[in-house]
Amino acid sequence: MPILLLMAAPTSGGGSMTILLVQVALFGLVFYFLFMRPQNEARKKHAALLAALKKGDEITTAGGLIGKVKDIKDDRITIESGSATVVVDRARIVRVGDSVAPGQP
């Protein structure tokens, strides 16, 4: 009798693989919506903030330097801070006027 019971029991090896694939897909979706998507949106907002940069705007750099835009050339921005003139990389600007780049305090 025990032999018949063993032979009649269904084997569901394919079902466990399907469950594993569904779990991996759900993990990927959670990762995308919690990490990837917000970073992409913040990157787009920062790029739009920098694209709208013009002479005379008051900016703050990632290093804490505050000044007014004097000249813009490609990726280099010349700013005037006090009596000094400094050239900074465009990507290092975190604040333009009252607008703060996403992800910055």
Question: Looking at the predicted structure, is the pLDDT value of residue 10 above 90?
Answer: no
Domain of 37, in residue numbers: 9-100
Residue 87: inside a domain: yes
Q: Per the domain annotation, does 74 fall within a domain?
A: yes
pLDDT at residue number 5: 46
pLDDT at 11: 54
Q: How far apart are CA 7 and CA 2, in angstroms?
A: 9
Q: Is residue 3 part of a domain?
A: no
Domains: count for the chain:
1
Q: Is the pLDDT of residue 74 over 50?
A: yes
Q: Is residue 1 part of a domain?
A: no
- Compute the distance between CA of residue 17 and CA of residue 4 in angstroms, rounded to an integer: 27
Please list, residue by residue across 60-77, b when 16 or more beta carbons sit within 10 angstroms of its beta carbon and e when fewer do: bbeeeeebebeeeeeeeb
Q: What is the tens place of the pLDDT at every residue in 11-40?
A: 555 678 899 999 999 999 999 999 999 999
pLDDT at 16: 87
pLDDT in the model for residue 90: 93
In a domain, 42, yes or no: yes
Provide the pLDDT for residue 3.
54
Confidence (pLDDT) at 1: 47
Confidence (pTM): 0.67
Q: Is residue 23 part of a domain?
A: yes
Measured CA to CA, the distance from residue 21 to residue 1 in angstroms comes to 37
